[in-house]
Amino acid sequence: MMKVNDFQKYEISLKIPYEEYFSLIYESKYLLEARLGPDRCFVARVAVYGNSRRRGVEKAIEWFNKEFKGLLGSAHKVMTIDDPFGEVSYDATFACNDLGNKYLDSKTIERVIAESDGDLASEDPESENNQHNCLRRIKRRKKQVIQLTSRLSQTPSGTIYYKMVEPIVSSGKRMKITSVKLSSKSLEKALREVSRRGLDKFEKFAHSASANKKKTSPTPMAA
């Protein structure tokens, strides 16, 4: 008996190879609604009800295991479930191994991949790492920071930072380095901004301190 809150209808699709379908008949398992498709596979559709797609998938798996008792192998190889209410959608928290995101039909897979903007791809059903998932995340190569000059660098998003040096007040000799975010988006404008804001005013001091340090360094004594 259907529960009051199990009002949403989901459609199970079974795609059964020709030979396996007749082995079901031999075992007295009949799918009267099955129709032979052009690729020599029988396709059968069965309705299941639940209060969410996740619950619909749970009930579909229970029905499949009880009905066929292993005769068709693993359910993920022959069974898909539609997403009539658009419950499967991509966001930052999307989990490929969530039961509600499994057993997807091709239409839903294509839609979610498009929504992910390159973050997802179809899972290879033959992959050893496949946990009966339909989708997998793509590992993107991290974009590197571009070094424009010895002190100017640009992030992948286009933001330019200037490595500013300034003396530490307590001693006046040691130097502190700080990354300063610039508003400029090109090297030419960034150089002008550094000069305009006076961010390079301590550079000569830093070079002088570095040179003096080298001069005062003790020379190794001969043995």
pLDDT in tens, 56-78: 999 999 999 998 887 888 888 88
Q: What is the number of domains present in the chain?
A: 2
Last residue of a domain, one of 106, 137, 168: 137
In angstroms, rounded to a whole number, what is the distance separating the alpha carbons of residues 131 and 102?
Answer: 10
Same structural domain, 108 and 51: yes
**Cβ-contact 105, 45 below 8 angstroms:** no
Q: Flag whether pLDDT at 202 surpasses 90.
A: no
Could you list the residue range(s) of the whole structural domain that residue 157 is in?
146-216
* Its pTM surpasses 0.85: no
- Tell me the two tokens of residue 103: 């057993």
Any domain includes 128 = yes
Q: Which of 120, 137, 154 is the last residue of a domain?
A: 137
Q: Are 128 and 206 in a shared domain?
A: no
> Which residue type occupies 121?
A
- Is residue 48 one of the residues assigned to a domain? yes
Same structural domain, 105 and 133: yes
3-state secondary structure of 176: strand
| pLDDT digits 0-9 by tens, 95-116 | 999 999 999 999 999 999 999 9
**Can you point out the beta strands (E) in the chain?**
8-17, 35-36, 41-50, 79-81, 120-122, 135-137, 146-147, 152-154, 160-167, 175-181
Residue 175 has a pLDDT of 73
- The first and second tokens of residue 183, run together, are 């508003």
Same domain, 128 and 150: no
